[in-house]
Amino acid sequence: MTDLRERIIYKALELYLIHGYENVSITDLQSALDMGRGTMYYHFKNKDEVFIEIVNRFFLNPKQQMLRLKDDIRVPEMIEALLRYFRFLEDSLMELEQRNINTSNVIMLLYTAYHRFPELYRKAHRLYAGEQAMWQKALRNSMRAGEVRRDIPLEVTAALFTQIKDGYDAGQSGKQMDFNMVREQYNLLYSLIQTKE
């Protein structure tokens, strides 16, 4: 990473994940980057601007992109779309110097974002509703294709698929993020609702 703006973004992401947004000042970020204050302010006017860009760039915008799916999407394609989102997140976290980031770090960062910045909360809420709608569409399409049982409750099943991601690794804050578990959980739930031959 040679671009200064990129260096600032990744270092800020790392510091916010490890120490929390409230505990990281522009001075802390400047010190961690060995960068002058003028250089820092040339790229970002304050730590709020850095934080908002991080949340949008790594969490909300990729999810928004992921939800731009075709109308005839079915469950396996929806699973793959979400796993691509997780791979993007995993690849981004691997760019950090500290690689022991766990789920609690990410949850706290997003909690802070949605609590402090109402515009981020509103965007996240719209994306959550969009994801629920896409799961329902994928389930309906899979039912029509004969891949999924027609007797499953659509809204409840869509919520279960969404909650796999939302409830990921709950209570295991000391563990590093392992996105293979998410794939296994999606596939298990899908196998439970598939049409049996």
With contact defined as beta carbons under 8 Å apart, do 37 and 15 qualify? Answer: no
Residue pLDDT, tens place only, 149-194: 999 999 999 999 998 876 554 344 445 566 778 888 999 999 999 9
- Residue 29, classified by CB atoms within 10 Å of its CB into exposed (0-12), middle (13-18) or buried (19+), is buried
Q: Kindly state the greatest CA–CA separation across the chain.
A: 67
The token pair at 177 is 């993020």
Residue pLDDT, tens place only, 69-120: 889 999 999 999 999 988 888 888 888 888 777 777 888 899 999 999 999 9
Domains and CATH numbers, the chain: 49-193 (1.10.357)
Write the DSSP symbol of residue 177. Answer: P
**Which residues touch 40 (CB under 8 Å, ≥6 apart)?**
8, 26, 29, 30, 33
Of all residues in the chain, what percent carry a pLDDT higher than 70? 92
